[in-house]
């Protein structure tokens, strides 16, 4: 099941990019064991755990990592893992006694994956931050928004999940492949600022060529060009147009009924305001659904801007099975897809400690050891 079947991952419980990385690996078939805190107050979540989508497909063991016995139990699990992933500030796991040196001494083949905002080194490594801060310093945020307006944070998709969690998952899998060849593990330092910069590689290439201006909303793909933008329709909804290539642009004009109008050349920047007004006026004359029908099966690079509910119900997305319903929680299905080793969601998100006894047994702890750990309150189950 899944291309990562047989791979064992230990995840130190946290929020954001590390759990997202763990979800990606679990979706691909890896056995992901999440170490949650054992304090009673941390066992119950603020709300129903089934909504913690980033924890789907994982098992949970609750361990007191402030206890030397708990640290030893965690190290026993780590010694049997292909990789460990964590998302704490630099130095936190070292202070716990679970830093890379300790873990790699117990398991030389281990891939130690860590994700932070600023990275494990550098003058800002220990400074607090969030997605918006990392992409701001990387020059990413400055590029997103309309001309004359302030930058627009693109949710937390670029720093946390794209530049952080996805790059950590990529790094971990790369390092696992290398460890299987060499027998030696290593540390993967995934920094959200690095990942965000990497995602901007193409833009930096255009900038070096002189084809990208730092002023927002003046470039071909940042709403500067009228043929790559979002427009309001007659019913106050929106459509997205991305007709960059010449033949796609001509198809756009034809479907809009503008092909015979006296309009500026597509790449005449001085004429972009007049071209934008013509497109905007025409699109405002009909509803979003009208335009969707007019552009059906066209190569004009057109799409209606859908809400989440509308996206779930869209025929193309439904046909591909791009969403899954897990216990009444509709969520994106695993991606990407494979022709042979099909990934799937193995289970709903666990309550912290839900699999403590079963997971410890599966990872080599004896019944007597598990009873002793429970009695000493070094580990906890979800119902105790």
Q: Which residues contact 168 (CB under 8 A, 6 or more apart)?
A: 17, 18, 21, 85, 113, 114, 115, 188, 190
Q: Which residues contact 324 (CB under 8 A, 6 or more apart)?
A: 330, 331, 332, 333, 345
Q: What radius of gyration do the chain's Cα atoms show?
A: 25
Peptide bond before residue 243 is cis, with ω within 30 degrees of 0 = no
Told to judge if 130 belongs to the known catalytic residues of this protein, a careful annotator would answer: yes
Of 36, 160, 194, 229, the catalytic one is: 160
Told to judge if 160 belongs to the known catalytic residues of this protein, a careful annotator would answer: yes
Closest to 353 in 3D by CA, of 326, 319, 383: 383
CA dist., res. 26 & res. 349, Å (int): 11
Contact 88, 12 (CB under 8 A): yes
- Helix boundaries (H) for the chain: 17-27, 40-43, 68-78, 92-96, 100-106, 131-137, 167-182, 192-199, 201-209, 246-256, 272-283, 288-294, 308-313, 315-320, 356-362, 367-375
Of 130, 290, 299, 314, the catalytic one is: 130
Q: How many CB atoms lie within 10 A of CB 105?
A: 11
The pairs formed by 135-141 with CB atoms below 8 angstroms and a separation of 24 or more are 135/159, 135/163, 135/192, 135/193, 135/196, 137/193, 138/193, 138/196, 138/197, 138/200, 139/197, 139/200, 140/196, 140/197, 140/199, 140/200
CA dist., res. 354 & res. 370, Å (int): 14
Element (H, E) at 35: strand 31-37
Contact 170, 194 (CB under 8 A): no
CA dist., res. 298 & res. 303, Å (int): 10
CA dist., res. 368 & res. 375, Å (int): 10
CA dist., res. 27 & res. 322, Å (int): 13
Indicate which residues carry an active-site annotation: 130, 160
């Amino acid at each position: 099941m899944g291309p990562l079947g047989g791979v064992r991952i230990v995840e130190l419980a946290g929020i954001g990019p590390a759990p997202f990385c763990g979800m990606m690996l679990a979706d691909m078939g890896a056995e992901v064991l999440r170490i949650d805190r054992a304090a009673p107050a941390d066992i119950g979540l603020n709300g129903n755990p089934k909504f913690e989508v980033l924890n789907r497909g994982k098992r949970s063991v609750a361990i007191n990592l402030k206890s030397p016995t708990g640290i030893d139990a965690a190290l026993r699990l780590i010694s049997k893992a292909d990789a460990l992933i964590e998302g704490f500030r630099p130095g936190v796991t070292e202070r716990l006694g679970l830093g890379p040196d300790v873990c790699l001494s117990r398991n030389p083949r281990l891939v130690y994956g860590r994700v932070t905002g600023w990275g494990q080194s550098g003058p800002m490594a220990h400074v607090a931050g969030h997605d918006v801060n990392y992409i701001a310093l990387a020059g990413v945020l400055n590029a997103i928004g309309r001309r004359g307006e302030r930058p627009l944070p693109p949710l937390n998709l670029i720093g946390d999940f794209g530049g952080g969690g996805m790059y950590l998952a990529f790094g971990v899998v790369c390092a696992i492949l290398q460890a299987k060849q060499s027998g030696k593990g290593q540390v993967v330092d995934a920094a959200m600022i690095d990942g965000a910069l990497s995602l901007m590689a193409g833009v930096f290439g255009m900038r070096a060529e002189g084809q990208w201006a730092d002023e927002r909303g003046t470039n071909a793909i940042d709403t500067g060009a009228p043929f790559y933008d979002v427009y309001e329709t007659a019913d106050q909804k929106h459509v997205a147009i991305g007709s960059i290539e010449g033949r796609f642009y001509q198809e756009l004009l034809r479907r809009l009924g503008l092909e015979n109008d006296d309009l500026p050349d597509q790449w005449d920047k001085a004429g972009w305001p007049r071209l934008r007004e013509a497109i905007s006026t025409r699109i405002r004359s009909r509803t979003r659904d009208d335009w969707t029908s007019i552009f059906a099966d066209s190569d004009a690079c057109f799409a209606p801007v859908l809400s989440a509910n509308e996206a779930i119900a869209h025929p193309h997305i439904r046909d591909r099975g791009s969403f899954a319903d897990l216990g009444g929680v509709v969520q994106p299905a695993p991606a990407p897809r494979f022709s042979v080793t099909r990934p799937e969601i193995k289970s709903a998100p666990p309550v912290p400690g839900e699999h403590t006894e079963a997971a410890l047994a599966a990872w080599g702890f004896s019944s007597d050891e598990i009873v002793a750990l429970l009695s000493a309150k070094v580990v906890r189950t979800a119902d105790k």
